[in-house]
Amino acid sequence: MTSAGRRALITGISGQDGSYLAEQLVEAGYAVHGIVRPTSSLANLAGIRDRITLHEGEFRDPASFRRALERSAPDEVYHLAAPTFVPDSWLDPAGTLEAIAVASADLLTAVREDSPGARVVVASSREIFGNPRSTPQDESTPCEPSSPYGVAKLAVHQLVGLLRDRHEMHASSAILFNHESVRRPAQFVTRKVTRAAAAISLGLEDELVLGDLDAVRDWSAAIDVMAGLRLIAGRDEPGDFVLASGVGHSVGDLVRAAFAYVDLDPAVHLRLDDALRRAPEPVDPVGDPTRARELLGWRAVISFEQLIGEMVRADLDLLA
């Protein structure tokens, strides 16, 4: 499938993932359209703002989805818009379900009825597995979500499969494990650590406070993961794919990589607070990307150390 003259619509285009995906699609020659909320910051799109078309819309306004579909006439739809900070879902379970499950159902219905030929890729999440019983996790791992966020994401994941089977939609789920970049918001642990390393090295702060160094995550670079979404859309047969590095790193590894970049000993500046400690997980949440490697030819290119170094460098520039 050639990209020349193709059109793509991205929900959540102004976020970390959407902005990287938009840049890749613009570079590939796509006409790129995106849906943004009226209050969205467009800072992540500064480099391509004059090469994309934006449409205002809201999670809870199905009509805005249909207007964007009509105006963009997309060949591919990437649904990335959703709340992203899992702990917040406990504060408003109903709102989380509405913003993720209901909004996604509205979008998928609009695509099926108004743009039936479009290929759809929906961003699912490793949170659909909850606390899995075995590691690594792949597309066949039982889904037992352990948060309202995971429940909402699982509903969307299963709906994609139903629409694919019942209505023969070219609809796919990308099961995304943790993926980071210099555009990651500050409340995530990766950005908390890289910013602290930068701030301490500049003499702006003295310590980094964390709850647990042993927790493990499978961290990839967002730019690599977004390349995977494009490969999923480009495959003639839709399906579900885990996109992950396949390697687990602890929070301690994250701290060491960040502080090594600025030549500091983290032990001098690190303080552990039991109040921030979470219950231990039974097995490590690490993804198995074998299917994506074999069927899509996808693999993570940017190493963990390179990724964390880039984030520290960006925080140094920002703070300086």
Catalytic residues, by residue number, are 125, 127, 149
Residues found in the chain: 320
Nearest partner of 219 among 257, 177, 181, judged by Cα: 177
Query: Exposure string (b/e) for 77-92, b if CB count within 10 Å is 16 or more?
Result: bbbbbbbbebeebeee
Question: Please, which residues bridge with residue 208 across strands?
Answer: 270
Nearest partner of 307 among 261, 267, 263, 270, judged by Cα: 261
